[in-house]
């Protein structure tokens, strides 16, 4: 029996996914019609029952976010869809925008109804040029079919290639035409968001799940997943597994072993090699090793194991990859993408790379010295990690060391010349 599910991805195989008529044939826009006869409170009650956790990375409960915004005074309220998807190894929002754009728009329109909004913005990663065009066509089709009512409209905004613009406050600055750097919080974006107005920011996959929740009911959505978080999750498999791509899995029903080794999902490690480690949730997520393969893929089980769902990325690495080289490349990514606003992140990442370079040179040329050298480096490394985590201005710098810390824990022999 297949371990995969088809909930969110129903309709992804449509020959014409931009056609409103085709979408209506599979129940498209029925959730919007249903929502139009409900009160905002009734819609939010379903989202809360569904226990939909935000799919953008931070896993914040969508229902609570919506409820909080509903009770905030002020209008207009804005709806913003985070489609920046700059996270390496993450490409599931691209699939939704490409193949399920009408479902995404329906979710955004339901949010528009709840908050009596007039404008929604989809902030799309700059590199997704074709996707941006397809989204604009999808919006035109929805408008022509008469679904965009009461002055409500949806706009597509292009990012310009900065990873930090995925952070929700930087994204709002960039949408307003300012430099894409994070804002200080509080005030929270729900209160002072886009153009300083109350604003809802959700990820593409979060919005695309809304029609499903309204159609099947929050309780059924919850049951299809894990008691702590309903529904399915789109995961992005890449690296050294045999099969790579986007897969829809039920939350809480599969283990990491299922994901990496099931013939229909990862298919095991390519070229007859062994698994060395996997990196979950994006560059700011932790690395796990083979001892953790029986961890259930749910938000709470992964968290207990020191891992995270994050963006849904599952990067699989085989035994040939030196872990220090891998975390060096992660750190280089953070150096390139740091917005430079605060010292712990801007300088901290550079210092981390220096230390990692020293370590990898010693490991490659004078392995026997690693044990003597390691304690002082370890201290330097851990002090730096703590400073960056505690003192960085935004989530970027606060989580930039997650891969490094977890790698140093699981692969102490490579970092410190110790055996596990
Ligand atoms: C550096 C950084 C990059 C981020 N990139 C993205 C992104 O590309 N897409 C996304 O949806 N959320 C991203 N986030 C998370 C957002 O700040 C925010 O939590 C999310 O858009 C909220 O939507 P959700 O609750 O539906 O997940 C990022 C956060 C940080 C700190
Ligand atoms: S932690 Fe600081 S330097 Fe790094 S991205 Fe955030 S604001 Fe910019």
Q: Residue 235: which residues within 8 A CB-CB, separation 6 or more?
A: 92, 246, 247, 248, 249, 259, 297, 312, 313, 314
Share of the chain above pLDDT 90, in %: 91
Q: How many domains does the chain have?
A: 3
Tens-place pLDDT, residues 56-99: 999 999 999 999 999 999 999 999 999 999 999 999 999 999 99
Any idea which residue has 């995404």 for tokens? 104
Q: Give the range of the structural domain holding residue 410, as residue numbers without chain letter.
A: 323-416
Predicted local distance difference test score (pLDDT) of residue 417: 61
Span from the CA of 397 to the centroid of ligand 2 (angstroms): 6
For residue 214, being part of any structural domain is answered with yes
CA count, 13 A, side-chain hemisphere, 351: 16
Cα–Cα dist 259/371, whole Å: 36
pLDDT class for 269, splitting at 50, 70, 90?
very high
At which of 186, 202, 223 does a domain end?
223
Q: Does 183 map to a domain?
A: yes
Question: Is residue 56 within 6 Å of ligand 1 at its C-beta?
Answer: yes
Whether residue 150 sits in one domain with residue 281: no
Confirm whether pTM is higher than 0.95: yes
Q: Could you tell me if 148 and 203 lie in one domain?
A: yes
Answer whether 415 contacts ligand 2 (Cβ < 6 A): no
Pocket test for ligand 2, best of 397, 400, 401, 402 (most atoms within 8 A of CB): 397
Domain holding 392: CATH number? 1.20.1440.230
Atom of ligand 1 nearest to the CA of 82: 11
With a CB cutoff of 8 Å and minimum separation 6, the contacts of 30 are 211, 215
Confidence class for position 383, pLDDT limits 50, 70, 90: very high
Q: Where a domain ends, among 288, 318, 348?
A: 318
415 CA to middle of ligand 1, Å?
31
- CATH number at 294 reads 3.10.20.600
Report yes or no on 337 lying in a domain.
Answer: yes
Index of the ligand 1 atom closest to the CA of residue 337: 1
Q: Using a 6 Å cutoff on CB, does residue 58 contact ligand 1?
A: yes
**Are 308 and 238 found together in one domain?**
yes
Q: Are 241 and 313 in contact (CB under 8 A)?
A: no
57 CB within 6 A, ligand 1: yes
Distance from residue 340's CA to the centre of ligand 2 (Å): 6
């Amino acid at each position: 029996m297949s371990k995969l599910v088809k909930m969110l991805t129903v309709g992804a195989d449509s020959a014409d996914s931009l056609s409103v008529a085709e979408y209506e044939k599979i129940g498209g826009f029925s959730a919007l019609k249903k929502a139009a006869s409900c009160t905002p409170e009734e819609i939010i009650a379903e989202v809360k029952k569904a226990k939909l956790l935000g799919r953008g990375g931070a896993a914040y409960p969508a229902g609570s976010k919506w409820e909080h915004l509903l009770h905030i005074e002020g209008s207009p309220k804005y709806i913003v869809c985070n489609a920046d998807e700059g996270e390496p190894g993450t490409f599931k929002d691209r699939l939704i925008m490409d193949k399920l754009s009408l479902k995404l728009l329906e979710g955004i329109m339901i949010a528009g109804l709840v908050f009596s909004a007039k404008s929604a913005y989809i902030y799309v990663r700059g590199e997704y040029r074709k996707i941006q065009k397809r989204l604009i066509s999808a919006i035109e089709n929805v408008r022509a079919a008469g679904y965009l009512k009461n002055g409500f409209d949806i706009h597509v905004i292009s990012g310009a290639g900065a990873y930090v613009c995925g952070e929700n406050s930087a994204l709002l600055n960039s949408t307003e035409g300012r430099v894409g750097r994070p804002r200080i919080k509080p005030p929270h974006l729900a209160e002072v968001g886009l153009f300083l107005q109350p604003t809802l920011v959700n990820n593409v996959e979060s919005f695309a799940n809304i029609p499903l929740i309204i159609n099947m009911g929050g309780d059924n959505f919850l049951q299809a997943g894990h008691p702590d978080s309903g529904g399915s999750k789109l995961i992005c498999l890449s690296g050294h597994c045999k099969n790579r791509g986007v897969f829809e899995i039920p939350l809480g029903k599969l283990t990491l072993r299922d994901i990496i080794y099931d013939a229909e999902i990862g298919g095991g490690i390519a070229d007859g090699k062994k698994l060395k480690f996997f990196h979950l949730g994006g560059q700011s997520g932790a690395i796990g090793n083979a001892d953790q393969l029986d961890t259930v893929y749910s938000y709470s089980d992964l968290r207990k194991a020191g891992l995270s769902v994050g963006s849904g990325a599952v990067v699989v690495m085989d035994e040939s990859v030196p872990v220090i080289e891998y975390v060096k490349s992660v750190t280089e990514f953070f150096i390139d993408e740091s917005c430079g606003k605060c010292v712990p992140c801007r300088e901290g990442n550079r210092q981390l790379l220096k230390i990692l370079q020293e370590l990898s040179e010693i490991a490659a040329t004078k392995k026997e010295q690693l044990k003597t050298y390691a304690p002082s480096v370890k201290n330097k490394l851990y002090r730096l990690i703590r400073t960056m985590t505690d003192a960085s201005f935004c989530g970027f710098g606060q989580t930039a060391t997650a891969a490094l810390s977890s790698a140093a824990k699981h692969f102490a022999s490579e970092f410190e010349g110790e055996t596990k």
